[in-house]
Chains A and B, each alone.
Chain A
Amino acid sequence: MPSAHAPHATAPASSPQSPPTVRLSFSPDPAYVRTVRMVAVAVARRAGVADELLDEVRLAIGEACTRAVKVHRRDGLADPIEVAMSDGASDRGPGGRFTVTVTDRGPAEAARKELAGGTGDIVARATVTPSGEDTGRNVLDEEALSIGVGLALLAGLGADFAVLDAPGGTGTEVRMSWPVKAAAGTTVPGARSEPSLTWRVRRAPRARPGGADDGSEGGR
Chain B
Amino acid sequence: MELSLAARTVAEYKVLEIGGEVDVYTAPKLRERLIEMVNAGDRHIVVDLGRVDFLDSTGLGVLVGVHRRLKARDGSLGLVCPHERLLKVFRITGLDKVFDIHATVEDATRGGAARAARTGS
Chain A: CB-nearest residue to B63: A126
Nearest chain A residue, comparing its CB with the CB of B94: A123
Binds B, one of A90-98, A100-108, A151-159, A189-197: A151-159
Q: Is B14 an interface residue (CB 8 A)?
A: no
By the criterion of a CB under 8 Å from any partner CB, how many residues of chain A are at the interface? 43
Q: For residue B3, which residues in chain A have a CB less than 8 angstroms away from its CB?
A: 214, 216
Give residues 33-55 of B contacting A (CB, 8 Å): 33, 36, 54
Contact of A34 with B25 at beta-carbon distance under 8 Å, contacts A59-B89, A138-B69, A153-B57 already known = yes
Counting chain A CB atoms within 10 Å of each CB, which of B1, B57, B73 scores highest? B57
Is residue A55 contacting chain B, with contact meaning CB distance below 8 A? yes
Residue contact A125 to B64, C-beta cutoff 8 Å: yes
Chain B's closest residue to A131 (CB) is B72
Whether a CB of chain B sits under 8 angstroms from the CB of A119 is yes
Given known contacts A134-B68, A138-B68, is B25 in contact with A156 (CB within 8 Å)?
Answer: no
> Is A51 part of the contact surface with B, judged by Cβ < 8 Å?
no
User: With an 8 A cutoff between CB atoms, is A22 at the interface?
Assistant: no
Is A204 an interface position by the 8 A CB rule? no
B window 13-43: CB within 8 A of A: 21, 23-26, 28-29, 31-33, 36
CB atoms of A59 and B65 under 8 A apart: no
Partner of B93, one of A55, A138, A152: A152
When distances are taken between beta carbons in the complex, the residues of chain A under 8 Å from B58 are 66, 146
A145 to chain B, nearest CB (A): 5
Pair A216/B5 contact, Cβ less than 8 Å: yes
- Contact between chains at B2 and A214 (CB < 8 Å): yes
CB contact between B92 and one of A30, A145, A153, A218 (< 8 Å): that residue: A153
A and B contact pairs by CB, cutoff 8 A, 19 listed: A34-B23, A66-B24, A66-B56, A123-B93, A123-B94, A127-B98, A128-B67, A132-B71, A134-B69, A139-B31, A141-B68, A142-B62, A146-B24, A146-B58, A149-B93, A150-B56, A214-B26, A214-B29, A216-B3
**A-B pairs, 5 with minimum CB distance:** A156-B92, A134-B72, A146-B61, A142-B61, A30-B25
**Residues of B that sit less than 8 Å from A by CB:** 1-5, 21, 23-26, 28-29, 31-33, 36, 54, 56-58, 60-62, 64-65, 67-69, 71-74, 85, 89, 92-95, 97-99, 121
Chain A interface residues (CB < 8 Å from chain B): 30-31, 33-34, 37, 55, 58-59, 62-63, 66, 69-70, 119-120, 122-123, 125-128, 132-134, 138-139, 141-143, 145-146, 149-150, 152-153, 156-157, 211, 214-216, 218, 220
